[in-house]
A and B are shown apart, each in its own frame.
Chain A
């Protein structure tokens, strides 16, 4: 009976395992292998050399680009957390009827199901030199000249990240908040806690798993991004994803692979640390 359970489990899981082996494990293995290969200008050839890694770690561009990637991830994380927590808190504790909660929640999640690229280019007429933001600020007399740093800058990159990924914070935080027993909050109030004290000592600790899951989403999405940075910085700043994409564009697959391996290890290390704080399967 015991082996029967394991067998039927694997039979049911076999399509899943098959997809993951072919399209996840094998590609990772392939990238790792190719990262030791060599490349000429127009082709790649099998080899076992550390040139790609030596070049990668020997260039200070690499460190700058990785640092820039961490910077984007950290700043985006702070903003998505603050906004995401506030929105989820409002929905979970201030909207009283379940019907409204669901309706407003859906309203927040709908953009998630539309195209990222379209949502990115949507910022351009808004932030550009003659865009809505600049013309509004000029007509209000706040500024005399159009602000140049609104578009194609770190500002616009982070703005787009926050725009695209705040939802990934709202959803898990809202999910954990909805499962908080409301009588705990009443108990805190009865025991004389102020609103802030309840928030800090009761709600935030109980929301931590949701915050962790949201953090995992946001950090990995920002770390692995290449398209937002390309669009919103107007190719003026770089992150690791852009570096990989550049190498791919130049057909330098081995050096792209080496960068990819380092990126993957970095991301997995971060996730490994975050997973120590939360048991995902229990929190679903």
Chain B
């Protein structure tokens, strides 16, 4: 291998600085969340303790954090499943280049670029003017889909752009019905990307703030609860909460990556049975 040019080391230094910039603040609050009971929101540390984490588990100190966490989790799962199903169907639809697909495509782009507060405001207004009560599982759910679906669809477009259609032709030649082709050929091939879509669906929903602001009603989701805390909580308990939710997000990401890794290995272990004469 040829020696690395000098620019490599300069760029590597920039990259490391970028990583410190990305993770530094998160590490700062992770450290501060172990602040001693007498400590404040900034350094210096006055002792090390789990005091603020314990506070999180006492209702009166922080309000309804666990309720909001449960709601965010359920909502995240709802959005995740819907995003995967609707994105796959949408991705399959766009391959057919049906009349009007251009308009639908521009709607997806609009959905991606529209300032989130507009979705929040518009959905909130529709619900209030037609006398319905906004709730995280109805209006909040729909408002979040306008943010997760464009991501899911863009991934599906990327996947189908690289998709080799000869697999489907082969399936058709062997007499598979259109449904069988999708079920036994297309879906297994795109499965790893679907895990990616699911990850986007869950985490974007779990962390979404602006689109749920006016659409979730009287029961807060976790980001709304955290937002409320930033205005009236002046102890490191908010850092403890930040650390816990960040750890939770990391666990979710690791879980998804593990699923990708396992499916990838299983697929490689299975290998192809082409030419083995199996029926």
Q: Which residues of chain A have a CB within 8 Å of any CB of chain B?
A: 5-13, 15-17, 19-20, 22-28, 30-31, 34, 83, 86-87, 89-91, 94, 96, 104, 106-108, 110-111, 113-119, 121-126, 128, 130-132, 135, 163, 166, 195, 216, 220, 223-227, 231, 241, 244-245, 248, 253, 256-257, 260, 263-264, 267-268, 271, 275, 280-281, 284
Contact = CB atoms under 8 A, between A and B. Distances in A.
Nearest to B257: A106
Interface of B: 1, 4-5, 7-8, 11-12, 14-15, 18-19, 21-26, 28-29, 32, 41-43, 85-87, 89-90, 92-94, 96-101, 104-105, 107-119, 121-123, 125-126, 129, 142-143, 145-146, 149, 153-154, 157-158, 161, 199, 203, 207, 209-210, 214, 223, 226-227, 230, 238-239, 242, 245-246, 249-250, 252-253, 257
Contacts, number: 257
A271 B112 CA distance: 11
A241 B245 contact: no
A27 B14 contact: no
A118 B238 CA distance: 9
Given A12-B90, A114-B246, A117-B223, A268 B113 contact: yes
Contact of A115 (B28, B43, B153, B223): B223
Given A87-B15, A113-B199, A227-B209, 11 more contacts: A13-B101, A17-B107, A20-B107, A20-B111, A23-B123, A27-B119, A83-B18, A107-B19, A113-B207, A125-B43, A244-B117
B142 A16 contact: no
B162 to A, nearest CB: 9
Nearest to B252: A113
A24 B112 CA distance: 10
Nearest to A160: B25
Given A6-B99, A114-B246, A121 B230 contact: yes
B147 to A, nearest CB: 10
A260 B119 CA distance: 10
Contact of B246 (A89, A115, A253, A260): A115
B207 A116 contact: yes
A115 B257 CA distance: 19
Given A115-B245, A121-B242, A248-B214, A241 B86 contact: no
Contact of B42 (A90, A128, A264): A128
6 contacts: A16-B153, A106-B257, A119-B26, A130-B42, A226-B210, A284-B154
A245 B223 CA distance: 17
B157 to A, nearest CB: 5
A30 B129 contact: yes
Contacts of A117: 207, 209, 223, 226-227, 230
Nearest to A199: B7
Nearest to A219: B113
A127 B62 CA distance: 25
A163 B209 contact: no
Given A113-B253, A114-B26, A87 B90 contact: no
Contacts of B246: 114-115, 118
Contact of A23 (B7, B113, B146): B146
A90 B125 contact: no
B14 A87 contact: yes
Nearest to A8: B96
A147 B113 CA distance: 36
A24 B126 contact: no
Nearest to B128: A253
Contacts of A253: 121, 125
User: Quick one: which of A10, A34, A107, A284 has the most chain B CB within 10 A?
Assistant: A284
B116 A284 contact: no
A27 B122 contact: yes
A131 B199 CA distance: 35
User: Quick one: which of A113, A245, A275 has the most chain B CB within 10 A?
Assistant: A113
Contacts of A20: 104, 107-108, 111, 146, 149
Contact of A24 (B146, B154, B209): B146
User: Quick one: which of A16, A108, A223, A280 has the most chain B CB within 10 A?
Assistant: A16
B204 to A, nearest CB: 8
Contacts of B257: 106
A284 B107 CA distance: 17
User: Quick one: which of A9, A126, A135, A244 has the most chain B CB within 10 A?
Assistant: A9
B29 A264 contact: no
B98 A26 contact: no
Given A128-B42, A248-B214, A256 B121 contact: yes
A87 to B, nearest CB: 5
A124 B28 CA distance: 10
Contacts of B90: 12-13, 15-16
